[in-house]
Structure 1
């Protein structure tokens, strides 16, 4: 799969900009703040229906403008997919596929698989469990539409149950029958989500370890573990056992929305004991594993976005990354960098065609 062209109107710092891309490697180079990452984010936005860097949709509209339009032509399995994503202030975002608007934006997820590697990925290590769950859910959702719909339904029921718990507290009342209805719905949607996460990680962890071994030269031992109370108990039992706690807290304290991933290097948390280079290598290995996992399930090669990937890495690790992408397993790659010379030297070592866009 590849992106042939991209047109931006009022997207972030771009007033109007058109790009025609190479089928293999495309590099955005220039000073900080010039829009390199914004160009990558526009590609991400077209593929997944949202910004990778700013979840507030209207903040992606250029200052003093009323709307943005992102327009791109993809080629997938010998057919063209024309995707237009637009947003007007005060209105809902619209995504059109071949001139037909989606009724639900979530239906677009998975059509155009994509993986991004960015400095902001460090949030996966330093932030809370919500960030790591989103990563896991995002990978699974790109290849499993049923999973995404179950997740949407689970979160809706969770919100309703939390509202009910607050109602109980404010009105000093309790209705076990109504609460049990929400419990059953959480079990209905949550149990398959848990089972799919377990199956996903069984397949994903070996790929991740293999990728890290290549990047690090095989000198470091890393681990990735799933932490969930559902491993030792079913969800209904957990909900019933924790009802007094939930009433006191006024929210649902157990369930798949509390699951986490633990990241370790030589059996210690990488957040505390990993160097900057080790943490970056860990994150790149995670994303390369995501790439290979999605590629196998989707039966198409995802687009790969590398945002400032070569910063804070020593030459040896950069060389290992170049070796990874310099083979037939990868399709179209987009790179951003502040150093044009470094970028050119890097892509010359990858034996593929390329274009450099100086912004």
Structure 2
């Protein structure tokens, strides 16, 4: 699978843009703020129905315009697939595949798997556990449609249970039978999600270790550990044990919404004790492991988007990484950098053809080889 062509209208800083891509390495070069990352984000929209950076669709519309449109043509097993996304201010997002509009965007997730590596990924290390749960959810959702359905149901039931706890606190009226109904609904979807996350991590952690070892020449001991309240007991019993605490805090304090991924280097928390280089290598290994897992599950290669990843990596690791992702285990690559000469040198050194676009003043110029 690869993206052959993309066209944009009023997307972020672009009035219009049309680009055709090679099946291998494609690069966008230009100054900071020129719009390199916006092109990657447009590709992310086509694959996953949303921006990688901003959840509010209307904020992707170019200033003083009323709508944006993105259209892409994918080659999938020799067949062309056209995907189109349109957003008008104050209207519902439209998403179409081969001119047929989706009733549920969830049905699109996983058809065109994609992995993005970006400086924003540092939030996975520095921010709260929600960021790390999102990472797990994003990977599994691209391979298991039932997982995404169960996650939607769980979050809805969690919201209902929390609303009931607040109502109990406000009115003083405690109906244990109604709470029991919410508990049963939460347990039903929660157990399925927990089992799927557990099975995923059993496969994912060894893949991550392989990628990290390759990037760092086995220089460091790192660990990636899944931690969940449901590892400590039956979910229904955990909810019962926590009921007094839940009533005081007016929210559900146990469940898969409290799951965590623990990152460590030399058995110390990566957030506190990892160097910038170690954190960068950890994040890249996470994303490459995600790529490998999706490839194994889907049976074809996802798209790989690399946004400004040369920052904080030394030349040796840059060359090693580029050589790795340009080999046969990887498919189509999109990469951004401010330095076109560096891009050319890196790909020349590993003997890989590069399809290069230079961006200046919101205009995209294809550089001929």
When normalised by structure 2's length, the TM-score is 0.96
1:289 counterpart residue number? 289
Q: For 2:345 and 2:33, locate their aligned partners in 1 and report how far apart those are by CA, in whole Å.
A: 23
The alignment yields a C-alpha RMSD, in angstroms, of: 0.8
**Matched residues, number:** 359
Compare 66-75 and 309-318 and name the one that shifted more: 309-318
- Gaps spanning 5+ residues in structure 1: where? none
1:114 counterpart residue number? 114
Q: For 2:52 and 2:140, locate their aligned partners in 1 and report how far apart those are by CA, in whole Å.
A: 17
Question: Contact 1:162–1:251 (CA<8 Å) still a contact in 2?
Answer: yes
The secondary structure found in structure 1 opposite 2:157 is helix
Give the superposition deviation at 1:56: 1.2
1:39 counterpart residue number? 39
Residues 13, 22 of structure 1: CA spacing in aligned structure 2 closer, same or farther, 3 A cutoff?
A: same
Question: Contact 1:26–1:354 (CA<8 Å) still a contact in 2?
Answer: yes
1:94 maps to 2:94 = yes
2:264 counterpart residue number? 264
Superposition pairs for residues 323-338 of structure 1, below 5 Å? 323-338=323-338
Give the superposition deviation at 1:109: 0.3
Q: Which segments of structure 1 move beyond 6 Å, counting only runs of 4 or more?
A: none
For residues 131-180 of structure 1, what are the alpha-carbon distances to aligned partners after superposition, in whole Å with 9 as ceiling and x for unaligned?
Answer: 00000010000000000000001001111111111111111111111111
The secondary structure found in structure 1 opposite 2:121 is helix
1:162 counterpart residue number? 162
Q: For 2:299 and 2:257, locate their aligned partners in 1 and report how far apart those are by CA, in whole Å.
A: 29
- Gaps spanning 5+ residues in structure 2: where? 360-369
The secondary structure found in structure 2 opposite 1:52 is coil
1:246 counterpart residue number? 246
When normalised by structure 1's length, the TM-score is 0.99
Give the superposition deviation at 1:323: 2.4
Q: For 2:280 and 2:176, locate their aligned partners in 1 and report how far apart those are by CA, in whole Å.
A: 48
Question: Contact 1:326–1:351 (CA<8 Å) still a contact in 2?
Answer: no
Superposition pairs for residues 1-359 of structure 1, below 5 Å? 1-359=1-359
The secondary structure found in structure 2 opposite 1:351 is coil
Q: For 2:66 and 2:326, locate their aligned partners in 1 and report how far apart those are by CA, in whole Å.
A: 42
The secondary structure found in structure 2 opposite 1:7 is strand
Q: For 2:234 and 2:12, locate their aligned partners in 1 and report how far apart those are by CA, in whole Å.
A: 46
Question: Contact 2:303–2:333 (CA<8 Å) still a contact in 1?
Answer: yes
Q: For 1:84 and 1:322, locate their aligned partners in 2 and report how far apart those are by CA, in whole Å.
A: 31
Give the superposition deviation at 1:182: 0.7
Question: Contact 2:344–2:354 (CA<8 Å) still a contact in 1?
Answer: no
Q: For 1:65 and 1:319, locate their aligned partners in 2 and report how far apart those are by CA, in whole Å.
A: 42
Give the superposition deviation at 1:350: 3.5
Q: For 2:350 and 2:4, locate their aligned partners in 1 and report how far apart those are by CA, in whole Å.
A: 20
